[in-house]
Amino acid sequence: MLDRLDVYFESGQPSAALNMALDEALLENAARPALRFYNWARPSLSFGYFGKLADAQAVGGDREIVRRWTGGGIVLHGEDLTYSLVAPAAHPYARHSAREIYQHTHSAIRDVLVAAGWSVSMVTTPASRVSEACFANPVVADLMAGDAKIAGAAQRRTRLGLLQQGSILFRDLPEHFAAQFASRLSSAVDARSITDTHLRRAQTLAAEKYGTRAWLEERQTSSI
């Protein structure tokens, strides 16, 4: 499905707000599909755009909390491998349905793990929602290892294109997993680095949007 893919292997540990901002900045500046892997400065929690800050605070403890631009539930970060996938609106990949892109990325993750000898399956039947925690609620095309959900993602589609933010919670990821995952998505992978343009835009977004109390409380405020 992807002819070429730019891949960003983050070596730093940005704050939660800056991580969300970098994903948006990447989408704004993407000329073709791009995949970004990233770490966290400290244990963090992200919750979906339509979620409630109070629910996040109830389980977040002393974690750094941030609202995602994408949907979905509560995700704890720090022990997971986190990634984002962006596709500019003009690229043919962005014309695929949200479900097709979700399945494409999760099939790539599953194939790498199965090749490494792990038993991993893709969810085919929706289950009842049991909590606000993303990894407690497998949906169609999520990945399972036994009874445990190990990979989930959330998406947002705008005039700029598609953003998918995903989390992989699996303690025994193979060595070089990220590179293998990228190569499963596309046979033509180009390693990239975050540019000064990306970083400056992200710093602005973090300061004016993702790092603000107004953003954390936005959905609650707008519903009153």
Give the Cβ contact number of residue 142 at 10 Å.
21
| Helices within 116-216 (DSSP H only) | 177-185, 196-205, 213-216
Q: How far apart are CA 24 and CA 158, in angstroms?
A: 11
Three-state SS for 201? Answer: helix
Q: What is the dihedral of CA 5, 3, 168, 215, to 10 degrees?
A: 60
For residue 209, report the phi and psi dihedrals to the nearest 5 degrees: -130, -80
Q: How far apart are CA 207 and CA 70, in angstroms?
A: 19
Contact 126, 29 (CB under 8 A): no
Q: How far apart are CA 151 and CA 160, in angstroms?
A: 25
Q: Which of these is catalytic: 134, 151, 163, 168?
A: 134
Inter-helix orientation angle 98-115/177-185, to 10°: 130
Catalytic residue flag (residue 134) = yes
| Vertex 177 angle, CA 42 and 120, to 5° | 100
For residue 24, report the phi and psi dihedrals to the nearest 5 degrees: -65, -40
Active site residues per annotation: 134
